[in-house]
Amino acid sequence: LDFMMNHIAETTAGKGEESSEVGASEFAINIYVAVRRYSAEPDFLSYLLLILGKLPDPVVRGNKGLCAELLRIFTTHFETADGTRNITKQK
C-alpha cells in the first residue's frame, strides 16, 4: 500500500499539497475495498495479494500466461462439431 500511496501522491502533485494527500488516501482506500470485496474472483484475489505484498508481480504474469495457454489447448483439443468454443464439464 505504501508504494501505491507514494505513486498516487506523485501523480496528484501540484493540486495543493494537503488535498492531494487526502485524495490519494481516499483513492487507495477505495481501491483496497473494491479489490477486497471481489476477492472471490481469481484476478481480484491476485490483486489483493499483490496489494498486501504477499504475491510478486512475475507470478501473476506467469499465471495469466498459463491460463491463456491452457485455454488454447482446451479449445483445440475439445473442438465441437457445431463450432462453439465453450468447454463444458462433460468434456
Q: What is the pTM of this model?
A: 0.51
Task: Give the pLDDT score at 37.
Answer: 92
Half-sphere exposure of 78 (CA within 13 A, CB side): 14
Say which residue, 15 or 8, is predicted with more confidence. 8
Half-sphere exposure of 58 (CA within 13 A, CB side): 0
Total Cβ atoms within 10 A of residue 75: 13
Contact between residue 24 and residue 14 where contact means Cβ atoms under 8 Å apart: no
User: Does residue 4 have a pLDDT over 80?
Assistant: no
Residue (of 48, 76, 45) closest to 91 by Cα position: 76
Instruction: Express each pLDDT in 13-67 by its tens digit.
Output: 555 555 567 777 888 888 889 999 998 887 788 788 888 888 777 877 787 788 7
